[in-house]
Amino acid sequence: MTPFGARLRELRAERGMTQKEMADRIGVSAAYLSALEHGHRGVPSWPLLQRIIACLNIIWDDADELQRLAMRSAPKVTIDTSGMDPAATELANLLGQSIGRLSKEDLEHLGRRLRALLDRPGKVPRR
């Protein structure tokens, strides 16, 4: 399950909506919505994301959070390190080969550490 899928499922459940009800409201099949929630589909299109936000009747911070999670929830990631320092290629490959062996706590720790490094003054802003 992706971060987007988990939050989508949570928001839908909070509103007492079944997958079928929500799927009908946003114009997709229940199977597609299930696949989206479980991370078996890629990032939803911008128009679909807007329909989801409208269907869930969320605004401001919750809508921003859902959009941010959608952009960070591609279940298949490609990292192009051509032209970068060899350490970038090594890191990308190490992560790709071993991410499945890390615990949730390890993943959260690495994510916090990476965000802290990216937030240092003089670094390129995150997208």
Same domain, 66 and 93: no
Question: Structure pTM?
Answer: 0.70
Same domain, 65 and 12: yes
Same domain, 101 and 122: yes
* Residue/partner pairs of 13-20 with CB below 8 Å, 24 or more apart: 15/56, 15/57
Same domain, 55 and 89: no
Which tokens belong to 95?
């992560």
Same domain, 62 and 11: yes
The number of distinct structural domains making up the chain is 2
The domain containing residue 48 runs over which residues? 3-71
Per-residue pLDDT of 20-70, as tens digits, reads: 999 999 999 999 999 999 989 888 999 999 999 999 999 889 999 999 999
Per-residue pLDDT of 63-109, as tens digits, reads: 999 999 998 888 788 899 999 999 999 999 999 999 999 999 999 99
Domain boundary among 71, 86, 107: 71
